[in-house]
Amino acid sequence: MEPFKVSLSNDAVVTGLAYLPSRQEPSSPLAVPLILAIHGGTYNASYFFADDQHSALPLASALQLPFLAINRPGYKDSTPIPTVPEDSSYFQEVGKYLHHEILPALWKRYASDVGASCFVLMTHSLGSPGAIVAAALNAESNLYPLAGLIMSGFGSELEKGPGFYAQLEMLKSKPATINFPVEFKDPIMLGTPEEGMADLSIYKQTAALQSETPGDEISDALTQWLDYWTKYAAKVTVPVMYGLAESDHLWSVSEQYVRNFVTAFEKSPRVESGIILGSAHCSELCKVGRGWYTRSFGFAMECAVAKELKRF
């Protein structure tokens, strides 16, 4: 993996990690998706490359697919979003920032070099809201060729458990950022070692994957997002793939909750969804991670072909 820093039109920067294979030959019949991975809260771009056993890299390399993982605005060295206006919210502004600044800049910088024909967004948890907003906005303005949206670790109803109330308590002092101790976070994200959903080795990596989270992000997720997200989902016009972890302790889990989520994407030409069995919240870091990456990459490749054939 190679670290990158790309300048945006507003003099801000976005950073992350990249796998950039050689450009496909001009005669190649392949439609090539540029997969853009967007991490969840408390993590960063390295979430998608945690170690040799928990990484998108082996599959991206085997398939020769370009893969970018950004540090979201305000994470690591990526510039935070500007102040949120009174009539907006954190994730709406993140989505606008992705759409108007980050995605066009990354497309201009990398698409030609790797021979990509489209973007496919792959998001985890709190990386999903901004991507949904960006996909909705791009359906109207088409600033870049978007072919698909893949999401995990997100849902239609928050699970009101200990983690939820602990986060509400943290927000009372209106902190600029929140740091979740790994001893508090790991059982929620990965399950306990006794449950066996994650390899023991990954628990040794979680401190290195840790990042402080903007307080406004957590506030929006807990108190605002669920009131307005469906109006953006209803505008998304690309294929959607969605997985809800069987043992997700942040979101309510059932087949009905899965249906509640995906039915909001009423204009999507194709929606695949289901419960990811044997997984905690962070599917990419659990034992099912290889399977989830494999399904995601296959879906991304299908989306690229469908877009090239003008099926949506």
Q: Tens digits of per-residue pLDDT, 69-84?
A: 999 999 999 999 999 9
Full-model pTM:
0.96
> According to the model, what pLDDT value does residue 24 have?
61
The domain that holds 303 is classified in CATH as 3.40.50.1820
- pLDDT per residue as tens digits for the range 266-275: 999 999 999 9
Confidence at 29, pLDDT banded by 50, 70, 90: low
Q: Mind spelling out the 3-state secondary structure of the chain?
A: CEEEEEECCCCCEEEEEEECCCCCCCCCCCCCEEEEEECCCCCCHHHHEEECCEECHHHHHHHCCCEEEECCCCCCCCCCCCCCCCCCCHHHHHHHHHHHHHHHHHHHHHHHHHCCCEEEEEEEHHHHHHHHHHHHHHHHHCCCCEEEEEEECCCCCECCCHHHHHHHHHHCCCCCEECCCHHHHHHHHHCCHHHCCCCHHHHCCHHHHCCCEEHHHHHHHHHCHHHHHHHHHCCCCCCEEEEEEEECCCECCCHHHHHHHHCCCCCCCCEEEEEEEEEECCHHHCCCHHHHHHHHHHHHHHHHHHHHCCCC
- Overall number of domains in the chain: 1
pLDDT band at 171 (very low <50, low <70, confident <90, very high): very high
Quick one: average pLDDT of 15-38? 84
Q: Where in the sequence is the domain holding 259, given as residue range(s)? A: 2-308
